[in-house]
């Protein structure tokens, strides 16, 4: 199984195409998620404006609040590598589920217009939208200015 490397080779994508490489990476990450409590694996592949890909999977903990979602895992890895501008995130779950509220809030902090694609374990697309559409009237950095 090929896993995401930080930073991975640069990829380019036309606006009207599905990012097959990101879909493959997200599904691969879903398969290695640590989910002994929910049994709901999630994988994410995040494309930066610079063309680098950052991946994450959800990692659960017996102390539930310490669990980290795949989407936040990928965003935090990207920020730790100096990336703060993002184009697309692909999120893979068994059923194509949408990101939770906490992940939406973290994503909107950096990229309200970022493309968000959710797929199931076979790569079928369930959602293709933007972060701002997932969290309308969001609280973000501009909410703190006068």
What is the Cα–Cα distance from 88 to 129, expressed in whole angstroms? Answer: 10
Among 21, 60, 71, 83, the one annotated catalytic = 71
Residues in Cβ contact with 79 at an 8 Å cutoff, skipping those fewer than 6 apart: 110
> Would you call 71 a catalytic residue per the annotation?
yes
Concatenated DSSP letters for 15-82? TTS--HHHHHHHHHHHTT-B-TTT---EEEEEEETTS-EEEEE-B--SSGGG-B-HHHHHHHHHHHTT
Q: Which amino acids are annotated catalytic?
A: 71
């Amino acid at each position: 199984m090929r896993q995401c490397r930080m930073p991975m080779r640069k990829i380019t994508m036309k606006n009207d195409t599905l990012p097959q490489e990101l879909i493959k990476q997200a599904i691969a990450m879903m398969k290695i998620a640590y989910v002994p409590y929910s049994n709901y694996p999630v994988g994410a592949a995040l494309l930066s404006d610079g063309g680098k890909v950052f991946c994450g999977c959800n990692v659960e903990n017996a102390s539930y609040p310490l669990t980290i979602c795949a989407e936040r895992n990928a965003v935090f890895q990207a920020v730790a590598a100096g990336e703060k501008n993002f184009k697309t995130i692909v999120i893979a779950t068994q059923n194509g589920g949408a990101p939770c509220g906490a992940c939406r809030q973290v994503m909107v902090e950096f990229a309200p217009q970022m493309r968000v694609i959710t797929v199931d374990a076979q790569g079928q697309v369930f959602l293709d939208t933007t972060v701002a559409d997932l969290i309308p009237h969001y609280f973000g950095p501009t909410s703190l200015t006068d």
